[in-house]
């Protein structure tokens, strides 16, 4: 890339870094993984920067790369979590700051339990504000698939949140 392209990319990166990181966090629910996903998306964008003709579509390209990277990461065997009957250390019963901001934390925790594809649809539709058509383009699937994944994702999210309310009040 020449100097002008590098400067354009640097400006885009500086302007969109935080928004991409937040979207990545909504997809995976972990700030460290969100940083990795954002980095993956920006590296892919940097590789293709010179070939991008329509700079207005750059956000869409980054979102699509982010969603794909998130889904790919969730499929990797070392990312799978194993549930056990006993916790490795005793739980702290004292109420903390997390209980004071329960609504947001409960939503993010519940979002982690939704399958990756459904989570991606929910994040794109409700946190990124994309319509069904745009979300379908981002995910490379049909609009009907987006609609069904949205319905299933919302149902799963509702079920997890109801379970949380029953458990913790």
pLDDT digit string, tens, across residues 110-125: 888 899 999 999 999 9
Task: For residue 123, give Cα distances in angstroms to 37, 44, 72, 94, 117.
Answer: 15, 21, 16, 32, 10
Going by pLDDT thresholds of 50, 70 and 90, the confidence category of residue 90 is low
How far apart CA 113 and CA 144 sit, in angstroms, is 23
Give the distance, in angstroms, between the CA of residue 43 and the centroid of all CA atoms in the same chain: 17
Q: Taking residues 101-110, report their average pLDDT.
A: 73
Task: For residue 77, give Cα distances in angstroms to 73, 74, 80, 94, 148.
Answer: 9, 8, 6, 34, 27
Going by pLDDT thresholds of 50, 70 and 90, the confidence category of residue 100 is very low
Q: Is the whole model's pTM more than 0.85, yes or no?
A: no
In 3D space, the residue among 14, 149, 28, 133 whose CA is nearest the CA of residue 79 turns out to be: 28
Sorted by sequence, the CB contacts under 8 Å of residue 64 that are 6+ apart come out as 138, 139, 140
Give the distance, in angstroms, between the CA of residue 151 and the centroid of all CA atoms in the same chain: 18
Tens-digit pLDDT profile for residues 40-82: 999 999 999 988 888 888 999 999 999 999 888 777 665 556 6
């Amino acid at each position: 890339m020449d100097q002008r392209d590098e400067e354009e990319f640097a400006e885009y990166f500086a302007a969109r870094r935080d928004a991409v990181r937040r979207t990545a966090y909504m997809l995976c629910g972990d700030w460290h993984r969100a940083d990795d996903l954002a980095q993956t998306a920006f590296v892919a964008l940097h590789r293709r920067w010179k070939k991008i003709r329509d700079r207005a579509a750059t956000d869409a390209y980054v979102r699509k790369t982010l969603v794909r990277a998130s889904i790919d990461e969730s499929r990797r065997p070392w990312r799978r979590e194993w549930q056990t009957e006993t916790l490795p250390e005793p739980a702290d019963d004292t109420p903390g700051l997390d209980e004071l901001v329960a609504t947001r934390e409960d939503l993010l925790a519940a979002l982690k339990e939704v399958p990756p594809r459904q989570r991606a649809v929910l994040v794109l539709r409700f946190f990124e504000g994309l319509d069904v058509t745009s979300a379908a383009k981002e995910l490379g699937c049909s609009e009907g698939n987006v609609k069904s994944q949205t319905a299933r994702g919302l149902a799963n999210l509702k079920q997890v949140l109801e379970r949380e309310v029953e458990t913790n009040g």
